[in-house]
Structure 1
């Protein structure tokens, strides 16, 4: 019987060891599964990003964007020019509108069109050297 107790004690110890090892083993397994899922998710998102990068680079819409941007820049300058002209019809001496109109026309490479507002600005502000310099550049001096 004492041998039985010893056997039972060993058996109890081994059961306790197994039960104490078991949660650690489960948490390790959970950590491994979580790490695997994380790696697969990261890899999938990286692959998706790379594929979308290459597909957008090869698409024809991507190639048309610079043309659309150039057209929109020209239309934006034209709209600004119309706005400044409207202000100057009501207030011919408005220096902000005169300067804006001159800058827009210079931005559109319309040096001849920029001369008139620049001449008005020089008349209104004879002490401003920057207006005189812009007028000289517009006239080609």
Structure 2
């Protein structure tokens, strides 16, 4: 091989290496560009529209309260004067916004335990709230 042949191969090898580097840089830039283009709209949607509050959460909370109330009502069928069940059921009725039902239970608690001042105070407050509406 002559010196001109060697020079040709060296020059040709450098051209090939340069093309490889350019292709690699273009590939890397394209890859990251496609990643950014896919991620940006998703991030914008997440920022612009927070996840909707589902009614399932509200419904499940209400159904949980109703199930608990049914459980205490079953206890009260067996033991109509169970103080703990009456207290818990009155609290659940207030949480379910059944103020009439809570008032009825509190009246029963006051009759069963006239010495309990806290029952009387809560009952009076409940009656005032009902009259105010």
2:103 aligned residue? 112
Unaligned runs of 5+ in 2: 129-133
Give secondary structure in 2 for the equivalent of 1:8: helix
Q: Does 1:11 align with 2:11?
A: no
Q: Is the contact between residue 86 and residue 105 of structure 2 (CA under 8 Å) also seen in structure 1? A: no
1:134 aligned residue? 122
Greater helix share, structure number: 1
TM-score using structure 1 length: 0.57
Residues 108 and 77 (structure 1), Cα distance of their counterparts in 2 relative to 1, 3 Å cut: farther
2:82 aligned residue? 94
Residues 77 and 117 (structure 1), Cα distance of their counterparts in 2 relative to 1, 3 Å cut: farther
Give secondary structure in 2 for the equivalent of 1:92: coil
For residues 56-80 of structure 1, give each alpha carbon's deviation from its aligned partner in whole angstroms, at most 9, with x where no partner exists: 98xxxx9xx77xx58x83x665554
How many residue pairs get aligned? The number is 120
Give how far 1:13 is off: 2.6
RMSD: 3.9
Q: Is the contact between residue 115 and residue 138 of structure 1 (CA under 8 Å) also seen in structure 2? A: no
Residues 117 and 8 (structure 1), Cα distance of their counterparts in 2 relative to 1, 3 Å cut: farther
Q: Is the contact between residue 83 and residue 109 of structure 2 (CA under 8 Å) also seen in structure 1? A: no
Decide which of 70, 91, 96 is 1:103's aligned counterpart.
Answer: 91
